[in-house]
Amino acid sequence: MRRIKVVLSLVLALAWVEGIAQPVIKYTQGSSEYSIQWDTKFAQINNLSPEIDINDKWVPVSEFKSIRWEKKEGTRFSEVNNYNGKVEYLYLICENHPMISNFTIKFELMEGRPYLVMNSSLTATEKFKLGGIKLFTSAKENIVLPGNTKDWIVFTESASAPHTGALMYPYQLNTKKAKAGSYSKANVGVWLSMLVNDKKNCAFSFASIASELWPNNFKWELPVENDFNKLKVSARSGAIFEKEKIWVPAGNTIITDAFLVGYWENQRPTKILLETGIIMGENVRKGKSMHCPEPGWSSWHSYERNITEKSFLTSAEFISKNLKEYGWKTVQIDGGWWTEPGLYKEDDHTFPHGLRYLSDYSKDLGLDFGLHVSPLRTNPKDPITAQHPDWILKPAVRKKVAKGDDEMETTIGTVYVDGSHPEVPAFSAARYQQIVEGYRPSFMKWDHTYGGLEEGKRYDSTMTFMQAHNKTIRAIRSALPDDLIVTRSMGYVFGALECYDAIRIGNDINHPGYKSEAEPYTNITYGKTLGTIEDDQVEKGLIRFARAVSQNYYIHKNIAIVDPDAFFVSPQYTIDEAKCHMTLEAIMGGLFFFGDKVESLPAERLELLKNRDIIAVNRLGVHAIPLDLFSGVDIPTIWKLETKDRLIITIFNWLDKDVTKTYNLKTDFELNNSKYKLTELWTKKNFKIESNKLTLDQAAHSVKIIEFVKL
Q: Averaged over 666-675, what is the pLDDT?
A: 92
For helices 355-364 and 424-439, give the axis angle rounded to 10 degrees.
50
Band of pLDDT at residue 19, cut at 50, 70 and 90? low
Question: Nearest Cα to 376, choosing from 314, 454, 463, 278?
Answer: 454
- Report pTM: 0.94
Q: Averaged over 316-344, what is the pLDDT?
A: 96
Torsion over CA of 140, 143, 146 and 150, rounded to 10 degrees? -90
pLDDT tens, residue by residue, 255-307:
999 999 999 999 999 999 999 999 999 999 999 999 999 999 999 999 998 99
In sequence order, the 6+-apart residues with CB closer than 8 A to the CB of 361 are 313, 316
What is the rounded CA–CA span in Å between residue 410 and residue 341? 8
Is residue 124 a contact partner of residue 250, using CB atoms and an 8 Å limit?
Answer: yes
DSSP codes of every residue in 252-303:
-EEEPPPEEEEEEESS-HHHHHHHHHHHHHHHHSTT-----PPSEEESHHHH
Per the rule left: phi > 0, alpha: psi between -120 and 50, beta: everything else, 112 is left
Is residue 294 a contact partner of residue 590, using CB atoms and an 8 Å limit?
Answer: no
| Predicted pLDDT of residue 6 | 30
> Residue 615 burial by CB count (10 A; 0-12/13-18/19+): exposed, middle or buried?
middle
Integer angstrom CA distances of residue 292 from 75, 296, 444, 483, 621: 35, 11, 11, 11, 9
Phi and psi dihedrals of 261, rounded to 5?
A: -130, 115
| Predicted pLDDT of residue 42 | 84
The yes-or-no verdict on residue 4 having pLDDT over 70 is no
Integer angstrom CA distances of residue 694 from 414, 652, 657, 687, 702: 54, 14, 20, 8, 17
Q: Reduce the DSSP state of residue 324 to 3 states and report it.
A: helix
Is residue 368 a contact partner of residue 362, using CB atoms and an 8 Å limit?
Answer: yes
Phi and psi dihedrals of 489, rounded to 5?
A: -125, 155
pLDDT tens, residue by residue, 453-502:
888 899 999 999 999 999 999 999 999 999 999 999 877 768 999 999 99
Question: Nearest Cα to 258, choosing from 107, 150, 414?
Answer: 107
Q: Report cis status (omega within 30 of 0) of the bond before 162.
A: yes
Q: Does domain 296-621 have CATH number 3.20.20.70?
A: yes
Residue 602: CB atoms within 10 A of its CB come to 11
| Predicted pLDDT of residue 458 | 95
| Predicted pLDDT of residue 438 | 97
Is residue 257 a contact partner of residue 211, using CB atoms and an 8 Å limit?
Answer: yes
Question: Nearest Cα to 395, choosing from 374, 377, 422?
Answer: 377
- DSSP 3-state percent helix, strand, coil across the chain (nearest 5): 20, 30, 45
Question: Nearest Cα to 465, choosing from 435, 431, 487, 491?
Answer: 491
The yes-or-no verdict on residue 316 having pLDDT over 80 is yes
What is the rounded CA–CA span in Å between residue 74 and residue 90? 9
Question: Nearest Cα to 188, choosing from 166, 212, 213, 210?
Answer: 166
More confident residue, 165 or 108: 108
Degrees, nearest 5: CA angle 209-545-570? 140
| Predicted pLDDT of residue 403 | 59
Question: DSSP assignment, residue 570?
Answer: -
Is residue 229 a contact partner of residue 149, using CB atoms and an 8 Å limit?
Answer: yes
The yes-or-no verdict on residue 637 having pLDDT over 90 is yes
Question: Nearest Cα to 364, choosing from 313, 327, 323, 298?
Answer: 313
Question: Nearest Cα to 650, choosing from 677, 680, 670, 621?
Answer: 680
What is the rounded CA–CA span in Å between residue 659 and residue 596? 30
Question: Nearest Cα to 12, choosing from 86, 93, 109, 104?
Answer: 109
Average pLDDT value over all residues in the chain: 92
DSSP codes of every residue in 649-689:
EEEEE-SSS-EEEEEETTTTT--S---EEEEETTT--EE--
Band of pLDDT at residue 407, cut at 50, 70 and 90? low
> Residue 609 burial by CB count (10 A; 0-12/13-18/19+): exposed, middle or buried?
buried
Largest pairwise CA distance in the chain: 98
Q: What is the third-level CATH fold of 626-710? A: Immunoglobulin-like (2.60.40)
More confident residue, 560 or 532: 560
Q: Reduce the DSSP state of residue 543 to 3 states and report it.
A: helix
Q: What is the third-level CATH fold of 9-284? A: Beta-galactosidase; Chain A, domain 5 (2.70.98)
* Strands 625-626, 593-594: pairing kind: unpaired
Q: Reduce the DSSP state of residue 475 to 3 states and report it.
A: helix
Q: Averaged over 577-588, what is the pLDDT?
A: 98
Question: DSSP assignment, residue 25?
Answer: E
Domain extents in the chain: 9-284, 296-621, 626-710
